[in-house]
Structure 1
């Protein structure tokens, strides 16, 4: 029984550490306090990267808006929904989703709102 409790505790700490280790522009996602944020996912290989905007300046360094780990490496997700679930654990919920067509490409944007 003690081993099961110890294992469950270790898994919980690992999961909490993974969530807090995700950053954008050097800020932990768990520390974002903006009412609304927006993201879109784009494919890199067989994984998705997330471009997140919370009102920061991204004109000159658009790569800074990509969600990264603590070491500054781009975090890869299986889908936009995986990231949406991650943001739910950081206090956000889906507010609106819309698509923007540019040429032959269509980009889906997700607007999240801080939960009350």
Structure 2
């Protein structure tokens, strides 16, 4: 009985956390855009990666509008971009395209295009 209650509490807290993840104030669970462009960035002195997600919102004027945030409004860290792709599978998104861009510092940036399964 104790295990059942503990499992239910853990599941409820996980579901609550997942629904509170947002981009530009919109819950990830509420996104229904057919295509999303995803890129990753790292903060200085951090090994965690953060995801920048574009679904058509105005990110040119407000970079912060594309950063995925947790329930406290802080950027949500991921161990890798693949962890994020697996996370988005819960919301019926799958990888549609992958491409890279080389910037002036010879660094390569990876981008994923996710497509909503119809």
Q: Shorter-chain TM-score: which interval?
A: over 0.9
Matching residue within 110, 113, 117 for 1:111 = 113
Residue by residue over 1:49-78, the C-alpha shift from the partner in whole angstroms, topping out at 9 and shown as x without a partner, is 110000111111112211011321111111
Does the 8 A contact of 1:19 with 1:86 survive in 2? no
Residue by residue over 1:73-95, the C-alpha shift from the partner in whole angstroms, topping out at 9 and shown as x without a partner, is 11111111111111111221111
Does the 8 A contact of 1:53 with 1:65 survive in 2? yes
Specify the alignment match of 2:36 in structure 1. 37
TM-score normalised by length of structure 2: 0.91
Aligned residues: 115
Question: Which structure 2 residue ranges, 5 or more long, are not aligned?
Answer: none
Specify the alignment match of 1:51 in structure 2. 52
CA distance in 1, matches of 2:97, 2:71: 29
Does the 8 A contact of 2:58 with 2:65 survive in 1? no
- Secondary structure at the counterpart of residue 15 of structure 1: helix
